Amino acid sequence: MPYPNLTGDENAIVEMARDFSRKRLAPYALEWDATKHFPVAEMKEAGSLGMAAIYTREDVGGSGLRRLDGVRIFEELAKGDPVTAAFISIHNMCTWMVDTYGSQEQREEWIPKLAPMDVMASYCLTEPGAGSDAASLSTKAERDGDDFVLNGTKQFISGGGASDLYVVMARSEGEGARGISTFLVDKGTPVSPSGRPR
């Protein structure tokens, strides 16, 4: 049933998400939970419907909608499977960060792959000693020629191990929030023999 306070387009977006959630998530959610299954195929299907780059600009393949549309979509997805809805919302957050703060080169390289979820992204902020107080994080980013070496520990990373791209917050400068930079770390990034990523 359409919401009376929404426009025709807004209702169409909600109905698309609701239909997907009812048919492709809800019937399987309990089984996925019990078997610890990460439903990659269904998430890519959500991506093909425009739900993986909801509030990302259209010139690089985003859906060009608003965050409010995202809230309504996530609400519908969560009715079917809150776990999958949560990961899709995190992937959207990563995609938005690349769109908003990345260079044009990064936008053109990553968003066409993130939007259909051909590349899945994880958001890596939390550490064993830095949760709510994220500005106290201690993962270090040190320059090594043209590269940065990241060294530290992250925890509670949704999609960790399964994702292809890691949006990593690390300390490149001094204390506090202003000393933190964000790095796009490809899953294939080599780790140095000492265990340090290079």
Ligand X SMILES: Cc1cc2nc3c(=O)[nH]c(=O)nc-3n(C[C@H](O)[C@H](O)[C@H](O)COP(=O)(O)OP(=O)(O)OC[C@H]3O[C@@H](n4cnc5c(N)ncnc54)[C@H](O)[C@@H]3O)c2cc1C
Nearer to ligand X, 55 or 166 (CB): 166
Nearer to ligand X, 155 or 189 (CB): 155
Q: Phi and psi for 98 in degrees, rounded to 5?
A: -65, -40
Nearer to ligand X, 16 or 185 (CB): 185
Q: Whose CB is nearest to ligand X?
A: 131
The minimum distance between CB 45 and ligand X, in angstroms, equals 21
Nearer to ligand X, 56 or 122 (CB): 122
For residue 98, give every residue at least 6 positions away whose Cβ sits within 8 Å of its Cβ, in sequence order, or none. Answer: 106, 107, 110, 111, 114, 167, 184
The minimum distance between CB 164 and ligand X, in angstroms, equals 15
d(CA 149, CA 170): 10
The minimum distance between CB 83 and ligand X, in angstroms, equals 8
Half-sphere exposure of 161 toward its Cβ, with a 13 Å CA cutoff? 3
Task: Identify residue 41 by its one-letter amino acid code.
Answer: A
Nearer to ligand X, 86 or 149 (CB): 86
Residues within the interface to ligand X (CB under 6 A): 90, 122-126, 131-132, 156-158
The minimum distance between CB 138 and ligand X, in angstroms, equals 13
d(CA 15, CA 2): 8
Paired tokens of 109 = 């390289």
The minimum distance between CB 157 and ligand X, in angstroms, equals 5
d(CA 87, CA 29): 13
Nearest to 121 by CA among 133, 106, 134: 106
The minimum distance between CB 136 and ligand X, in angstroms, equals 10
What is the tally of helices (H) and strands (E) in the chain?
6, 5
Nearer to ligand X, 110 or 123 (CB): 123
